[in-house]
């Protein structure tokens, strides 16, 4: 008796799936990406403050962006929500 090996990427061949994530997780990915873009614009602003006045703020925001990207790469929905909330409150 031979068993069919499990294909971890079988969901890509599933006729129900279009190959892209859907549902709340996909929405979270998109929302987080929008917040990352918005905060990157804030970083540009902080870095433009004369005499290095915004360097601390820029470095903190850069760290948040790095961690948010990491949560996306790892598809860790819990961390994505965490960094979405954190980035949403950045001014």
Give residue-wise pLDDT tens across range 38-87.
999 999 999 999 998 899 999 999 999 999 999 999 999 999 999 999 99
Residue 75: helix, strand or coil by DSSP? coil
Whether residue 13 is contained in a domain is answered as: no
Whether 68 is in a domain gets the answer yes
CA 83, CA 53: separation in Å to the nearest integer?
A: 25
How would residue 15 be classed by pLDDT, with cut points 50, 70 and 90? very low
**11 within some domain:** no
Kindly report the pTM of this predicted structure.
0.70
Give how many domains the chain has, as a whole number. 1
Instruction: Report the candidate in 75, 83, 90 with the shortest Cα–Cα distance to residue 25.
Output: 75
The answer as to whether 31 is a domain residue is: yes
């Amino acid at each position: 008796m031979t068993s069919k090996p499990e294909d971890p990427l079988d969901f890509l061949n599933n006729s129900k799936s279009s190959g892209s994530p859907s549902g709340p997780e996909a929405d979270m990915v998109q929302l987080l990406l929008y917040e990352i873009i918005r905060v990157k614009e804030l970083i540009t602003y902080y870095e433009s403050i004369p005499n290095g006045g915004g360097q601390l703020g820029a470095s903190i925001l850069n760290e948040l962006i790095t961690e948010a990207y990491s949560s996306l790469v790892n598809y860790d929905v819990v961390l994505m929500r965490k960094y979405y909330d954190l980035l949403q409150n950045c001014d």
